């Protein structure tokens, strides 16, 4: 168990749901459960061709960003690491093992190599985001750092 943002308790386990490389972590005590799905895998001789490395990072980031609001919103956040998505049906195996039991809503992101602004689906929504603050880059260039370097 670890402390997350805002003092949230993060309970995690690896392996999970019968898969050696799957994980499950929960944040928040609420009665409503939201699953954030983190796909991750790589294909032989191809690597991360489908962006699953980005899906996992975005999912964990979303869970950590939502964690401080879990109590206020009455949420339990279940972060599910779903391996073997391209050729192994990891998510389907986890569904069969109960990973999504008691989940009220599940979400994930998936990158796309082409413009999707005109694509319509009942399962998709759009979101506009405005970032404010100082532009930064995670490099050694101190003039582009978001915060002063830590000694």
pLDDT at 95: 92
* Residue 31 in domain: yes
* Residue 84 in domain: yes
* Residue 15 in domain: yes
Which residue range forms the structural domain that includes residue 83? 2-112
- Which among 124, 147, 121, 120 is positioned nearest to 134, based on CA atoms? 147
pLDDT category, 7, cuts 50, 70, 90?
A: low
Q: How many domains does the chain have?
A: 1
CATH of the domain at 40: 3.40.630.10
pLDDT category, 35, cuts 50, 70, 90?
A: very high
* Residue 138 in domain: no
* Residue 75 in domain: yes
CB contact at 8 A, 27 and 10: yes
pTM flag (> 0.75): no
* Residue 95 in domain: yes
115-144 pLDDT tens trace: 766 777 766 666 777 877 766 655 555 565
């Amino acid at each position: 168990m670890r402390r997350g943002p805002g003092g949230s308790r993060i309970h995690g386990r690896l392996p999970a749901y019968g898969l050696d490389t799957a994980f499950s972590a929960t944040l928040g005590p609420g009665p409503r459960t939201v699953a954030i799905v983190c796909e991750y895998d790589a294909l032989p001789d191809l690597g991360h061709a489908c962006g699953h490395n980005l899906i996992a990072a975005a999912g964990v980031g979303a869970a950590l960003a939502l964690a401080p609001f879990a109590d206020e919103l009455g949420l339990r956040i279940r972060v599910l690491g779903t391996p073997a998505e391209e050729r192994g049906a990891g998510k389907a195996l986890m569904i069969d093992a109960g990973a999504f039991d008691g989940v009220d809503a599940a979400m994930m992101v998936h990158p796309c190599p082409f413009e999707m602004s005109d694509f319509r689906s009942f399962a998709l929504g759009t979101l506009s985001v405005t970032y404010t603050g100082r532009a930064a880059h995670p490099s050694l260039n101190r003039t582009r750092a978001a915060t002063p370097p830590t000694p």
